[in-house]
Amino acid sequence: MENAKTDIAKAEEAGANVPAARDSYKLARRYLDKGDAATALTLARKSQDLAGETLEQYNEVNENLDLLDSYIQWGKRVSRHLEMPEKELEEANALVKDKKYGEANSVVKGALETAREVQVGFVNDELESIDVYLKELESGGVGTSVARNTLNQAHNSLDDLNFEQAYTLASQAREQGEKNQELYQDIIGKLRKAKDGIAWTKDLGVDTTSLKELEDKVEKALVNQTYTFALDFVDQLLAELPKATQVHINKLFNQANAMLEESRDMGLIVDEQESLMAKAMGAASDGDLEVTVTTITQLENEVTGLKEQYGDAKGSLDHLAEILEAADDIGVGIEGPRRLEGDAAKALVENDFKAVHRIVAEAEEDLIRTSSSFIVEYIGRVQDSIVRLERQGAWVDKVENKVDEAWSQLDDRKFTEAFSLARECTLTLQKVEERFSGIHDRLRSAEADVHRMGFLEVDTGDAVQVISKAHEALVDLDMDRADKHISEALDELGAALRDTVEKQISSLEELIESTKADGADVSSAAERLDRARALADLGKFQTAYMTVLGGIEAAARARREMDDAVEGRRRAEEMFHDAEDLGADVSRAKELLAEIDDDLSDRRYRDALHAVSSLTQVTRKAKRERVMELLTDGQNAIIEAEEHGLSVKVLRQELDQAEEQLELGDFHAAVATTTEATQAARDLISQFITARDRIVDVQSFIYDASGIGTDTGRATDMLGEARDALAEQRLDEALDLAERAEEEVKERQREMVSYEMEALGDLRDEAQELGMVVTTLQASLDQAIEMTSSGDYKDAILQLRDGLEEGRELLVKYQKATESIERADELLAIMVELEIDSGVPGAEVEKAKRLVPEEEYEQAKSVADETREDMTRILDEHVVQKVDELRAAFARAEEVGIQVNDLESSFDGSYGEQDAAAYMALAAVVAEHEAQVKDRTAAYDDASNRIDEAQTLYDDAVELQVDVSPVTPMLEDARTTLAAGLYPEAGAKADSAREKVLELQRQFVLKYISDAEALITELQDMGVDTIQSN
């Protein structure tokens, strides 16, 4: 348990998510707490295994992610064209975040393989590029041994899949090559300057031997590719050049002095040369180096000439001495020649060189005349010299012929001729011994140059013929002529090579210009052109020629690189469209195509080719992914077909064939095969699903049809046959049977539609005869007809049935609505007759009537019913009101004493006998009794008023103090009569009382007037003015 807990902790501490392990651990703890140790142990071990496995996956995927990220980051650093699997890295990180370590590891391993392939391709291209670059340097004379060694190490690192180290070593190799190239160019430039200085110094007559030695050291160091030493030597050479002139001038004087001193020691007379020495010293003092050098040169030439003359004379004298010694050794008398030898020695001291030669010749002739033995010995020495020279490779046949001739002359006792020939041979052989080796070496060098230039296809002109003449001259032992011909041949070869190099340089210049004008990068060719010019200036025409060839090749390579880049652009576009036509994802390829265009515009052809290479990989990968996507679709389609129970063995074989085509790189064939197989599978699935779904649909159709009473027996049998056909993969037949079953149901439904339509038509006619609006019924008929036309028989049937049902309902509603309206009209007529305000109810009845044509029967009935209720209420209220008013009238009458008991009894009897809804009858009864009450009331009121009026008159009379006592019984009688309900009689009595009051009042007034008149008269009689009082 503790081990499992520890492993889980380790996994979680590392960052891994181990829910399964933790769950197992918790479960193990619970079992352990329950005492089930065995189960707890099993679960703990499982937890430990899960934790360990998850931790292992987690560590592995993280290591691989780090490695992949390092690959991608390295790829970004070295090139913007590398297609590194960044999306896969993101996907793997997302999977790790979701704790799907196994899936993440699978993704990252595939991405690592892709990254390695990309890196191998890129580094390999880089190594090949550097190899080409180093070959270019080598063709230009630049040493690359160190860079080559580094490049080999890079190849080894690439073999070990150490891409970064391989690329670093490759970069180092390029840098080493570039450094060597820079050093080489620097050294060559300095060497050219030094050689110009040496030539100038040499032209001044300065001994450049030490400088030449330094020059040789520089060139040897260049050959050995030890450029540091070469740079040191050339710097030393440049430093020594200015010293050499002055040193040489001093040396010239020293040499001239030494020559003069040596000449004097030899016994030469050099007075004239000493004068030249003085002249040279004066010119040197004046700083005139040219005169100084010229004068010293003249001095040296003259001294040398004197020395040569002296040497020739002394040589002749020495030769005479040898002859005399040889003659003396064989006992020949030499007194005369010895004397002449002394004369010749004296002439030599006097510098009379011609006399020396003349005296020596005279002595030799004298000796020859005195002894033939000497001649034999002399010719023998000549033959020894011939054997020695033949061993050195010299051609001495002619000398041998002359020796033979000398022997022949000696045999003929022609001693002088024999000696002359032998002496001539001796002098000739002496010259051969002195010069043959050097001239022969020069001849071999010239022949080698001819051979080399022929290999380089350089026109050597007449050099071959001149070399032949040199051979002939050597055979003739004419060293001067041979040397001259060799020099001519070398000059001819040099001129031919120089002319060829110049022409080639011009051609290269034109080639560079034309190639550059076409858009190619000619920097490498231009460098070789500059190097070739420098080499030509140094006189190194062969190296210059090879450099020019390298430049031509570099220009051609630049053009090829440009053409390859342009062709690569064309191929890239073809690959792009090819991938696009296949339906592949070409988004990255499109970006690379734009990058290629940018590189071409900027003349970065190598980058363009790298981008083309990347695009090739991208499009190939995209096409492969497209084919894989299609294959997956095909596999899914086949699996789906198999899940439907379909036989797809042939189609699976076609997909296998497509996979083989994919492995062979035949993407179009793979796409065509896959698409065809996938489409066939989908067509089969579609056909199956169509037939299956059709059967299901028809089954549902049959169920629906049977649900509305359709006869589906025969259709059900046909559908059973369709299912059998579907199970046996007879899909066309299954579909046909399902269609026929559906048609059978539709036929039965068409019959049902006909029946239902006829019934609805009859209902419509019936409603129309009743005056009902039949718009809805007609609409149902029209919709049913339209549905039937479109084959929707079920809906047509349901529509017709709904129409019948709705029609019947509408008919009932219509009848109810019209009945309600009619009853409302009856009530409305009663209200009008009863003079009750019927404006609102009348409008509502009219509204109900308007709703009927609109087929709003329920609303019309509702309005009519409500209006009837309102009118009923109004009528009820009206009747009740009238009754209440009548009873109030009764009450009022009774209150005032009007006798209406008989009317009340009569009304109660009549009212109780009437129906409450018999408004007119009730109204008539009420009106009748109301009239009677009114009549009695009127009579009562009239009588009462007449009594009141009589009473008023009575009261007024009382106030006037009229004696109306006779009237009092009359008023009492009137009131009694009124109370008895005898209203006319009471009125008559009241009138009588009134008349009585009036009469009494009149009598009172008359009496008063009479009294007044009597008073007036009395007053008048008394003389009182009464007018004012009146």
The per-residue pLDDT for range 886-912, each reduced to its tens digit, is 788 778 777 777 777 777 777 776 665
| pLDDT value, residue 290 | 63
| pLDDT value, residue 328 | 65
pLDDT interval class at 42 (50, 70, 90)? low
The predicted-structure confidence for 231-265, as pLDDT tens digits, reads as follows: 788 888 777 776 666 766 777 778 888 888 887 87
Residue with more model confidence, 917 or 426: 426
> What single string gives the DSSP state of each residue in 779-820?
HHHHHHHHHHHTT-HHHHHHHHHHHHHHHHHHHHHHHHHHHH
263-272, 446-455, 483-492, 566-575: least confident range: 446-455
| pLDDT value, residue 1009 | 77
Structure tokens at 464: 């071959």
5-19, 126-140, 882-896: least confident range: 5-19
52-56, 106-110, 694-698: least confident range: 52-56
Structure tokens at 218: 């520089």
Q: In whole angstroms, what is the distance from residue 712 CA to residue 724 CA?
A: 19
Q: Percentage of residues in the chain with pLDDT exceeding 70? A: 76
pLDDT interval class at 1029 (50, 70, 90)? very low
Q: In whole angstroms, what is the distance from residue 357 CA to residue 338 CA?
A: 15
| pLDDT value, residue 912 | 57
Structure tokens at 552: 């031509």
pLDDT interval class at 18 (50, 70, 90)? very low
Q: Which of 805, 810, 804, 802 is nearest to 860 (CA)?
A: 810
Report which residue type is found at 186: D
Structure tokens at 789: 């036309």
Residue with tokens 């609109």: 854
Q: Are 563 and 519 in contact (CB under 8 A)?
A: no
Q: In whole angstroms, what is the distance from residue 545 CA to residue 480 CA?
A: 32
Q: Are 431 and 481 in contact (CB under 8 A)?
A: no
Q: Are 766 and 811 in contact (CB under 8 A)?
A: yes
| pLDDT value, residue 849 | 81
Residue with more model confidence, 230 or 984: 984
Binning the chain into helix, strand and coil, the percentages to the nearest 5 are 85, 0, 15
Give CA angle at 769 (763, 775), nearest 5°.
60
Residue with more model confidence, 867 or 330: 867
Q: Are 68 and 115 in contact (CB under 8 A)?
A: yes
The predicted-structure confidence for 274-324, as pLDDT tens digits, reads as follows: 888 888 888 767 656 667 778 888 888 888 888 888 888 887 778 777 777
- pTM exceeding 0.75: no
Mean pLDDT of all residues in 2-8: 51
Give CA angle at 799 (798, 805), nearest 5°.
85
Mean pLDDT of the chain: 76
Q: In whole angstroms, what is the distance from residue 469 CA to residue 483 CA?
A: 10
Q: In whole angstroms, what is the distance from residue 530 CA to residue 544 CA?
A: 10
Residue with tokens 């190099």: 501
Using the predicted structure, report yes or no on whether residue 22 has a pLDDT greater than 60. no
Query: For residue 835, how far is the Cα from the chain centroid?
Result: 96
Q: Are 711 and 748 in contact (CB under 8 A)?
A: yes
Cβ neighbours of 400 (radius 10 Å): 15
Query: For residue 540, how far is the Cα from the chain centroid?
Result: 54
Mean pLDDT of all residues in 473-479: 64
The predicted-structure confidence for 384-436, as pLDDT tens digits, reads as follows: 776 776 666 666 666 667 777 777 766 655 656 667 777 777 777 676 666 66
Counting other chains too, the contacts that 344-348 makes at CB distance below 8 Å and 24 or more residues apart are 344/316, 344/317, 344/320, 345/317, 347/313, 348/267, 348/310, 348/313, 348/314, 348/317
Q: In whole angstroms, what is the distance from residue 548 CA to residue 1011 CA?
A: 188
434-438, 682-686, 846-850: least confident range: 434-438
Give CA angle at 1027 (1024, 1030), nearest 5°.
115
Q: In whole angstroms, what is the distance from residue 873 CA to residue 684 CA?
A: 79
Mean pLDDT of all residues in 989-993: 88
Using the predicted structure, report yes or no on whether residue 541 has a pLDDT greater than 80. no
Q: Which of 77, 81, 80 is nearest to 167 (CA)?
A: 77
The predicted-structure confidence for 600-611, as pLDDT tens digits, reads as follows: 787 777 788 888
426-435, 589-598, 728-737, 749-758: least confident range: 426-435
Q: What is the dihedral of CA 88, 94, 100, 105, to 10 degrees?
A: 30
Q: In whole angstroms, what is the distance from residue 375 CA to residue 423 CA?
A: 10
Mean pLDDT of all residues in 68-75: 70
Q: In whole angstroms, what is the distance from residue 554 CA to residue 547 CA?
A: 10
| pLDDT value, residue 11 | 47
Mean pLDDT of all residues in 761-771: 79
Mean pLDDT of all residues in 720-730: 84
Ramachandran sector of residue 645 (left: φ over 0; alpha: ψ -120 to 50; beta: rest): left
Using the predicted structure, report yes or no on whether residue 681 has a pLDDT greater than 70. yes
| pLDDT value, residue 1030 | 44
| pLDDT value, residue 700 | 84
Residue with more model confidence, 688 or 430: 688
Residue with more model confidence, 249 or 831: 831
| pLDDT value, residue 17 | 47
Helix 605-643 to helix 667-707 angle, to the nearest 10 degrees?
Answer: 30
> What single string gives the DSSP state of each residue in 651-665?
HHHHHHHHHHHHHTT
Task: Annotate 879-908 with b (16+ C-beta within 10 A) or e (fewer).
Answer: beebbeebbebbeebeeeebbbeebbeebe
Structure tokens at 587: 């988004």
Using the predicted structure, report yes or no on whether residue 184 has a pLDDT greater than 80. no
Burial class (CB in 10 A: 0-12, 13-18, 19+), 302: middle
Structure tokens at 965: 């006592």
Using the predicted structure, report yes or no on whether residue 594 has a pLDDT greater than 50. yes
Q: In whole angstroms, what is the distance from residue 225 CA to residue 137 CA?
A: 12
Ramachandran sector of residue 413 (left: φ over 0; alpha: ψ -120 to 50; beta: rest): left
| pLDDT value, residue 15 | 45
Ramachandran sector of residue 120 (left: φ over 0; alpha: ψ -120 to 50; beta: rest): alpha
The predicted-structure confidence for 420-430, as pLDDT tens digits, reads as follows: 777 777 777 67
| pLDDT value, residue 33 | 58
Query: For residue 493, how far is the Cα from the chain centroid?
Result: 62
Q: Are 364 and 320 in contact (CB under 8 A)?
A: yes
Q: Are 510 and 495 in contact (CB under 8 A)?
A: no
| pLDDT value, residue 52 | 62
Structure tokens at 963: 């004696």
Using the predicted structure, report yes or no on whether residue 491 has a pLDDT greater than 70. no
Report which residue type is found at 849: K
Q: Percentage of residues in the chain with pLDDT exceeding 90? A: 0
Residue with more model confidence, 334 or 658: 658
Q: Are 158 and 123 in contact (CB under 8 A)?
A: yes
Q: Are 852 and 818 in contact (CB under 8 A)?
A: yes
Using the predicted structure, report yes or no on whether residue 195 has a pLDDT greater than 70. yes
pLDDT interval class at 449 (50, 70, 90)? low
Counting other chains too, the contacts that 732-739 makes at CB distance below 8 Å and 24 or more residues apart are 732/687, 732/691, 734/691, 734/694, 734/695, 735/687, 735/690, 735/691, 735/694, 738/691, 738/694, 738/695, 738/697, 738/698, 739/694, 739/698
